[in-house]
């Protein structure tokens, strides 16, 4: 299969190297296009006020991998690859393996997930992979799972276009409790802005804080509570697979908002 691989950790990150090399060694046609440096937590940002540069990179990946380092964001990389660098459309867009989890509401900030979502926006089934630790560095089990997953998806395609957000527990493969389908959980942070002074006496702030995992239940009434959240499942050492879409419409509230609009807001109605 033809596979496009991106990342937000940068071209030299071990996670993307492990993923791309594993896929290439298995016989897939792999192209890597990712930032030339770490671009974590950039969300779905695009570069529109300055040029985007891309250079071929040698001696970083397996010789069968064609790799580009891009000056832009993770989403820029996938957009550039699909629009300019590739001479064919890939069968899948993959992003990762990210160093650190992308669980719950992390997906709104994640450059890893956004790079994969760029593939979905172009009509290509896509997958985002993250290792749920900032210190554990064995990416091989995640890469092997990615290989098995795309092989299964080739034989049994997804029923609809979507993004599969995959998180890998930071344990050896024989300690994992299997893979399960999950729903997006709640993962919020206690934010702290540390105030500092630079050498010229100017004030700046450094964002820090702690994760408050699953700190609030879902407020949605259409959620199947029997489906475990990704945050819960990763604690149980499960590989989590969460289907995501780019449509953020709150569908279950559509019918509720019209009466609310008519009864409480004095706004002119279209004719």
- Determine the average pLDDT of the residues in 64-73: 96
Specify the higher pLDDT residue, 183 or 252.
183
* CA nearest to 128, candidates 235, 250, 9, 12: 9
Give me the domains of the chain, ranges plus CATH numbers: 2-184+224-253 (3.40.1210.10)
Q: What is the pLDDT of residues 5-51, one digit of tens each?
A: 999 999 999 999 999 999 999 999 999 999 999 998 888 899 999 99
List, as residue ranges, the binding site for a divalent metal cation: 8-9, 40, 98
- The structure tokens listed for 240 are 């989590």
- The structure tokens listed for 178 are 């299997």
pLDDT value, residue 81: 97
Q: What number of other Cβ atoms are within 10 A of residue 55's Cβ?
A: 12
| Separation of alpha carbons 139 and 120, rounded Å | 25
| Separation of alpha carbons 183 and 138, rounded Å | 25
Q: Model's pTM, two decimal places?
A: 0.89
List, as residue ranges, the binding site: 8-9, 40, 98
pLDDT value, residue 270: 59
pLDDT value, residue 187: 78
Residue 236 and residue 132 in contact, taking contact as beta carbons nearer than 8 Å: no
Whether residue 222 has pLDDT greater than 70: no
């Amino acid at each position: 299969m033809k596979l496009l691989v991106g990342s937000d950790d940068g071209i030299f990150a071990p996670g993307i190297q492990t993923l791309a090399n594993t896929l290439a060694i298995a016989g897939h046609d792999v192209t890597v296009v990712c930032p030339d440096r770490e671009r974590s937590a950039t969300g779905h940002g695009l570069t529109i006020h300055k040029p985007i540069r891309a250079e071929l990179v040698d001696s970083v990946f397996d010789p069968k991998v064609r790799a580009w380092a891009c000056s832009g964001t993770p989403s820029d990389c996938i957009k550039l690859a699909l629009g300019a660098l590739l001479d064919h459309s890939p069968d899948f867009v993959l992003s990762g393996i990210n160093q650190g989890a992308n669980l719950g509401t992390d997906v709104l900030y994640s450059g890893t997930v956004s790079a994969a979502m760029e593939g979905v926006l172009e009509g290509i089934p896509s997958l985002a992979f993250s290792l749920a630790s900032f210190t554990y560095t064995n990416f091989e089990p995640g890469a092997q799972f990615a290989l098995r997953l795309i092989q299964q998806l080739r034989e049994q395609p997804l029923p609809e276009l979507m993004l599969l957000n995959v998180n890998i527990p930071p344990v050896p493969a024989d300690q994992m409790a299997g893979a399960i389908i999950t729903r997006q959980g709640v993962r919020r942070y206690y934010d702290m802005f540390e105030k500092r002074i630079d050498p010229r006496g100017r004030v700046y702030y450094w964002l820090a804080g702690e994760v408050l995992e699953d700190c609030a239940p879902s407020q949605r009434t259409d959620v199947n509570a029997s489906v475990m959240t990704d945050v819960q499942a990763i604690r149980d050492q499960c590989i989590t697979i969460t289907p995501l879409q780019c449509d953020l419409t709150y569908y279950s509230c559509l019918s509720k908002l019209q009466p609310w609009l008519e009864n409480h807001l004095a706004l002119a109605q279209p004719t």
